[in-house]
Structure 1
């Protein structure tokens, strides 16, 4: 393993946090990780503390290849009660040929630093936000075969294993989400929901490698909720809420669809017209449901 220099001084909490900013936000146990200029930042809504992690010195950044992709994932080991940020770095040629991938890991603790993990699998490009379930980070990516695979990173051991996604998952399609369903990673394909009212749910069963499939058909009385969505209006999955509801967002016009996969029931929420008492969680929070669990609020304390 190789490591970058320790940057304990950069982990000083910032108590003045005027706005979130950034992108690729993901929440886990009351903490939010987001990215600004390729740097990972962490925010604790309970204490209003934030920190920006130090940079790491990847040799891939110095390469002349035109495309460089950086993705951060956030994980928690329930046994050691330890948080880790995982960064995937990938470079590609002008012909979109994936060349190399690197993995870097940062343990969220005083004096923490980035270390590079040994990884000998093929280069791949993550395409969705990751999930952390029972100490394992799952994320969806494709490699040189252009087929989707699920990469499983064990937070404690830092081992990685790869599981092939179902062949039925459409390639180069944006109309599906990678979500948690019933405590398991799942792929929710809603690419045909507007035309036919049908969506597909693929669930990765325990011990991996086996996918179960379930077809969901919108009730006729709810089909009108998706009738005004066309190819110019993109419906995006923003994670899952309570009771296994998938949160789908449409920006123009602005509203949310909460799809209960257990009951096969959809409800529409228009944030601007909702009272304060029943206002749904914001788009920022909805990546992984609400932030009610603040058990990690001491994680940013020095």
Structure 2
């Protein structure tokens, strides 16, 4: 056996891949943030992928971090409009939108620079009316399986009930899309038919969570969260405390707090305050409330600082906050917030493309290196 063949056999072995992933999760000398940018809203505008290596120091960096164009993601022949959390180093990209366009999905491994396109889902039930769809990415820890959930919402003309369909694809051994039952009447995962990334959901320890929306109304008070157990492929509704009920998802976010689902209420930040509230779900229905005085961001010499938005979390447990677009001087300021010590640290990222216009989107994904292979799909 040649040296190259032996080496390929070694790094392809499941035991080596698992050991490499475990080591990456344990040590992680850097937080690798993959930044995505959409230059315009039209159907021909692609996403541009950039990466920036952020050291784990608990102190702000004096010098900006340089972002580099990331060649790990093959270009789409269609516009990607959603990105998932990174699960074990795999990143899910999906084209979500409305009929008559068919949904497309891709899973990428930036470490190995490999990607696969999932099979196009079969024709839906053929009901009349507008059809909205969106993808979500999750993991079943009991069976060690990654799965993709497709949500399809039919919005018929006035006077008819809205219909929801769910389809599941198992990355290894699944073969094809399977329809699954949805027994919950009157609620569905919110943000369908919008440009919010919240339609992807928030994955936490074997479950995916969304805001639950009653009927076809978007601007209504969110009274429940919808949970999907990736292993059992079952849904359940989780009722929210009265104080945690939000009307707009841009003011309240579903977050992970120490492995639990949390509701992050940032409504005060919108009006210049710094009082944020967090509700953490402990058990099936017990919500624990915490009130925190959010540290005032240090904007340095930036005049008229923009509003901060919640962008997700990183492996340290810190939350990410950032503006919707880079500041006027071309810098993109990312703030990491450590809730345990109430510390807010800032990093400046430079080298990103210019963003302008009302439809710009910047998604930030915390990434870990992995050698996980992607299966062939048909």
- Band of TM-score, shorter chain: 0.7 to 0.9
Aligned: 1:255 with 2:333? yes
Structure 1 residues 217-232: aligned runs within 5 Å: 217-219=293-295, 222=296, 225=299, 228-229=304-305
Contact 1:75 1:85 in 2 (8 A): yes
**CA 245–227 in structure 1, closer or farther in 2 if over 3 Å, else same:** farther
Consecutive unaligned residues in structure 1, runs of 5 or more: 1-14, 275-282
Cα distance between partner residues in 2 of 1:94 and 1:212: 41
**CA 86–111 in structure 1, closer or farther in 2 if over 3 Å, else same:** closer
Contact 1:73 1:130 in 2 (8 A): yes
Q: In structure 2, the residue corresponding to 1:46 is in which secondary structure?
A: coil
- Using the TM superposition, give the Cα deviation of residue 299 of structure 1 relative to its aligned residue in structure 2, in angstroms: 4.0
Q: Which of 92, 102, 109 is 1:33 aligned to?
A: 92
- Using the TM superposition, give the Cα deviation of residue 147 of structure 1 relative to its aligned residue in structure 2, in angstroms: 3.9
Cα distance between partner residues in 1 of 2:303 and 2:189: 33
**CA 56–301 in structure 1, closer or farther in 2 if over 3 Å, else same:** closer
- Using the TM superposition, give the Cα deviation of residue 189 of structure 1 relative to its aligned residue in structure 2, in angstroms: 1.5
Aligned-residue CA RMSD (Å)? 3.0
Consecutive unaligned residues in structure 2, runs of 5 or more: 1-70, 97-102, 192-197, 353-361
Structure 1 residues 205-224: aligned runs within 5 Å: 205=282, 207-219=283-295, 222=296
Q: Which of 173, 185, 189 is 1:125 aligned to?
A: 189
Q: Which of 187, 204, 207 is 1:136 aligned to?
A: 207
TM-score normalised by structure 1 residue count: 0.77
Aligned: 1:242 with 2:315? yes
Aligned: 1:70 with 2:133? yes
- Using the TM superposition, give the Cα deviation of residue 23 of structure 1 relative to its aligned residue in structure 2, in angstroms: 2.7
Structure 1 residues 33-112: aligned runs within 5 Å: 33-36=92-95, 38-60=103-125, 62-66=126-130, 68-93=131-156, 99-110=162-173, 112=175
Figure out how many residues of one structure are paired with residues of the other and give that number: 268
TM-score normalised by structure 2 residue count: 0.63
Partner of 1:191: 267
Cα distance between partner residues in 2 of 1:63 and 1:166: 36
**CA 227–150 in structure 1, closer or farther in 2 if over 3 Å, else same:** farther
Deviations 1:234-289 (A, max 9, x none): 53322101332111121141321211111112122211189xxxxxxxx65x44x3
Q: In structure 1, the residue corresponding to 2:119 is in which secondary structure?
A: coil
